[in-house]
């Protein structure tokens, strides 16, 4: 089966400016993801979809393909994944005659994944028969212990079935998306749908120390420390 690694990396970002090229352990953030994709050994092509020429130059220097620049209207703060995916696959089909069977979506904002995580998600997709696989880790905070404000009063965000606050050891396990690896069967994607990753979704479970997803400056600092520790 032909497997495409697709790395979405737009130039803009609100909370962390230029986060896809932010330096982490001495390298641009996107470089870590390209390295992991190349080291996996399961991807036939590694393509970066970006609207930004600096990101494109860095990506090419790291060994990824950047055969096109993404239109600006597909690189806005609220642009969902699906139209970015459809644009990339349409370009590759029309210009290269390339139609992958599986697409692995690798966000540069998850720089702590390992190459084995990419391979593991593909193994789950192939073995499960699911439409797609999404990587997750155990949630740091359980929703049963989360609160909302009703005016100035605290109320439970989720009411436990028992109506009582449970001990941590008795809480049912919950998981969060970590943004590290998503894999999808191309022929299961609905071009007219709302979501890229939909339908029958299987999980690939990762440990929390490989699940940092860069959304703010604290995440940047944590990712930098963990990557430097990994390098020894």
Vertex 20: Cα angle to 19 and 24 (nearest 5): 75
| pLDDT tens-place string over residues 20-48 | 999 999 999 999 999 999 999 999 999 99
Domain span at 54: 3-136+176-231
The CA dihedral of 68, 71, 75, 79, to the nearest 10 degrees, is -110
Identify the pLDDT of residue 90.
98
Q: Give the pTM.
A: 0.94
* Residues paired with 155 in a beta bridge: 148
Any idea what the CATH number is for the domain that residue 43 is in? Answer: 3.90.550.10
Considering 126, 155, 173, which residue would you say is the last residue of a domain? 173
pLDDT of the residue at 44: 98
* Final residue belonging to a domain, choices 154, 173, 192: 173
Alpha helices in the chain (DSSP H): 29-40, 53-61, 81-96, 115-128, 217-231
**Pair 97, 169 in one domain:** no
If asked whether residues 131 and 168 sit together in one domain, one would say no
77 and 164, same domain (yes or no) = no
Buried b (16+ CB within 10 A) or exposed e, 188-205: ebeeeeeebbeeeebebe
Residues 181 and 167 in one domain: no
Domain count, the chain: 2
Q: Are residues 166 and 182 in the same domain?
A: no
State residue 169's pLDDT score.
75
CA distances from 132 to 17, 30, 129, 185, 201 (A): 31, 23, 8, 6, 5
Q: Are residues 146 and 38 in the same domain?
A: no
Q: Based on the domain organization, do 144 and 90 belong to the same domain? A: no
60 shares its domain with 152 = no
Q: What is the pLDDT of residue 163?
A: 56
Are residues 26 and 110 both part of a single domain? yes
pLDDT value for 60: 98
Within this chain, do residues 116 and 129 fall inside the same structural domain, yes or no? yes
Q: State residue 14's pLDDT score.
A: 85
Q: What was the pLDDT predicted at 162?
A: 59
Distance, in Å, from the CA atom of 201 to the CA atom of 175, rounded to the nearest integer, reads 14
154-185 pLDDT, tens digit each: 998 887 765 566 677 778 899 999 999 999 99
Which residues of the chain are modeled with pLDDT < 50?
none
Residues 81 and 152 in one domain: no
DSSP label at residue 69: B
Do 17 and 66 belong to one domain?
yes
């Amino acid at each position: 089966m032909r497997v495409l690694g697709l790395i979405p990396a737009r130039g803009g970002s609100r909370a962390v400016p230029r986060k896809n090229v932010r330096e982490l352990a001495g390298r641009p953030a996107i470089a870590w993801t390209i390295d992991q994709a190349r080291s996996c050994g399961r991807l036939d092509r590694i393509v970066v979809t970006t609207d930004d020429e600096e990101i494109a130059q860095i990506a090419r220097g790291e060994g990824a393909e950047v055969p096109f620049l993404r239109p600006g209207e597909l690189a806005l703060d609220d642009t969902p994944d699906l139209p970015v995916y459809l644009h990339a696959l349409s370009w590759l089909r029309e210009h290269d005659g390339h139609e992958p069977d599986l697409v692995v979506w690798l966000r540069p904002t998850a720089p702590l994944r390992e190459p084995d995580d990419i391979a593991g998600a593909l193994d789950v997709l192939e073995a499960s028969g699911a439409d797609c696989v999404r990587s997750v880790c155990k949630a740091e905070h359980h929703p049963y212990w989360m609160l909302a404000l009703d005016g100035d009063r605290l109320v439970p965000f989720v009411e436990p079935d028992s109506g009582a606050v449970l001990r941590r050891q008795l809480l049912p396990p919950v998981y969060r998306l970590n943004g590290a690896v998503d894999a999808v069967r191309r022929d299961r994607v609905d071009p007219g749908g709302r979501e890229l990753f939909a339908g029958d979704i299987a999980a690939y479970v990762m440990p929390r120390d490989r699940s940092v997803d860069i959304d703010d400056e604290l995440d940047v600092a944590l990712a930098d420390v963990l990557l430097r520790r990994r390098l020894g």
